[in-house]
Structure 1
Amino acid sequence: MRAAGAVVWRWRSTGHGAEVAVVHRSRYDDWSLPKGKRNPRETRQATAVREVAEETGMAVALGRSLGSVRYRVLSPDGAGRTVVEYFSAHALGGDFGPGDEVDDLRWLPVHEARAVLTREADRQVLDRFAAAPPDLRTVLLVRHARAGSREEWAGADEFRPLSGRGRKQAEALADLLPVFGPTRVHSAPMTRCLDTVSPVARALGAAVVAEPALTEEAFAREPAAAEDRLLALVGLPETVVVCSQGGAIPSLLSRLAANGGVELPAPRSRKASTWVLSFLPSRPVLVAADYISNPRGW
């Protein structure tokens, strides 16, 4: 069984640090991080956002992945395995109301929340959250969706459009990416890149800003300029969607990872994939990179 949840955080009203939400589940009489089961055809990110809303009343913007927890549960058909994926989640507002599943919620500093949580697995997730500042800057680096065949396209390559499958992938990205709370959309000025993030931009009510430095040709000529431009976007006090090409993304990621001291596997860049890049709030240094290979899948 698949499930997802989050470490939900907000700034303390006293202005001294962050506090996180822990919930009491009446059925189990335990204190837990908000989490729940996946609905059919739901991404793990959407599951986390929905379950947080149902259990805490909070609307949230997701941040970096906090990894997964695996455990076995008893079911009518015998023991089964549950995998829970966790995310950092910034509380944007809302009001808690007791329900059948969750009857109490506490906002606590991290060290107090750790002492309250019933399960060691939840405490380990909270430790991962506490290993970096809560307010990391997020950039969603997207590779364009599938385009029509280059061999069958008679025009200039920069104008080659998305295929039918690519348009479906673009619509799926428009469902996925808003859970991270982006407010800006930037793209390499290639038709297939612009068309990939146009549905996201429409969903957000934002314009798509052209980024000539982030095409693969521009990256090949001046990789440092492409890196500088991406880091300039990191400096904005907003979460940004950025669309680029497969000839630029892996090498650009390697440069960012080397500068931040982050160990990455060989950077991947499937069409319509997204890298969730997390940077320090005080300076544009990469501290985490999470890969979403498929906008519809787990």
Structure 2
Amino acid sequence: MTESKASSSPSSRNLSAQEFVESAGVILLDKSLDHVCILHHLEGDVWVLPKGRRNCGETRKAAALREAKEETGYSCRLLPVRMSTRAPPANEDDTSTPDEARLLNDLTEPFSLTLRELGRDRLKLVWWFIAVVDEAESPAAGEAMFQPCFLPCHEAVQKLTFPSDRETLQKAIEIIAQQ
């Protein structure tokens, strides 16, 4: 490979399984879609979004729903939304479809991905989904270290402690506003 080709190729790095962890989380909305559940982590006195590690053999979607239930006590379901994505539609048979963003309806795919550096050669990936409380089930007790709180969406953005959580919630609010 010539030097000019090498310098123009995209940057990439490989991590083995012990160097990364996959997590999944949700933006958990009430049925009105106007209020979002955020968690007060009592020990650290920080406000965060519900998320946690994906178990071996578990899908990202299942991990997101399980973690929301464990941390908040609320059962939820993924909310189908209209959003822009580079993923081809489920029924896409044309292999020549360009790799570009397109607006698709009724998606329950991740709307965002957070990459968090955990130190030298360690990375946490957090796949984010949009969900709504399943009102058919009564809330249970969530994890004792968290106190769930439903706030108006824009208030919740301001209350969250970490910039990446605020950015993630803001993106979800923008998607919901376009429904």
When residues 100 and 57 of structure 1 are mapped into structure 2, their CA distance, relative to the original with a 3 A threshold, is closer
Question: Residue 122 of structure 2 aligns to a residue in which SS?
Answer: strand
Task: Report matched runs for 1:154-165 at 5 Å.
Answer: none
Corresponding residue to 1:97 among 126, 141, 153: 141
Distance 1:97 1:40 in 2: 25
Which structure has the highest helix share of the two?
1
TM-score computed with the length of structure 2 as normaliser: 0.64
1:2 maps to: 22
Distance 2:24 2:143 in 1: 19
Once the two structures are superposed, what CA deviation does each residue of 1:223-261 show, in whole Å capped at 9, x if it has no partner? xxxxxxxxxxxxxxxxxxxxxxxxxxxxxxxxxxxxxxx
Once the two structures are superposed, what CA deviation does each residue of 1:162-205 show, in whole Å capped at 9, x if it has no partner? xxxxxxxxxxxxxxxxxxxxxxxxxxxxxxxxxxxxxxxxxxxx
1:154 maps to: none
Distance 2:140 2:153 in 1: 20
2:7 maps to: none
Structure (1 or 2) with the larger CA radius of gyration:
1
Distance 2:125 2:160 in 1: 19
Task: Please say if 1:73 is aligned against 2:121.
Answer: no
Q: Which amino acid is 2:143 matched to?
A: G
Give the gaps of 5 or more residues in structure 1. 137-279, 281-298
Q: Which amino acid is 2:23 matched to?
A: A
2:16 maps to: none
Aligned residues: 128
Q: Which amino acid is 2:115 matched to?
A: R
Q: Which amino acid is 2:163 matched to?
A: E
1:36 maps to: 52
Deviation at 1:26, TM superposition (A): 3.1
Deviation at 1:128, TM superposition (A): 1.2
Deviation at 1:18, TM superposition (A): 1.2
Greater RCO structure (CA 8 Å; 6+ sep) = 2
1:48 maps to: 64
RMSD across aligned C-alpha pairs, in angstroms? Answer: 2.1
1:84 maps to: 126
Deviation at 1:92, TM superposition (A): 0.9
Corresponding residue to 2:75 among 52, 59, 70: 59
Distance 1:119 1:96 in 2: 27
Preserved CA contact (<8 Å) 1:10 1:91: yes
Distance 1:20 1:57 in 2: 14
Preserved CA contact (<8 Å) 2:25 2:50: yes
Task: Please say if 1:112 is aligned against 2:155.
Answer: yes
When residues 33 and 96 of structure 1 are mapped into structure 2, their CA distance, relative to the original with a 3 A threshold, is farther
Q: Which amino acid is 1:101 matched to?
A: M
TM-score computed with the length of structure 1 as normaliser: 0.40
1:188 maps to: none
Q: Which amino acid is 1:120 matched to?
A: P
Give the gaps of 5 or more residues in structure 2. 1-20, 80-107
Once the two structures are superposed, what CA deviation does each residue of 1:7-37 show, in whole Å capped at 9, x if it has no partner? 000145xxxx610000012343311010000
Deviation at 1:68, TM superposition (A): 0.6
Which one is further off, 116-125 or 25-34?
Answer: 25-34
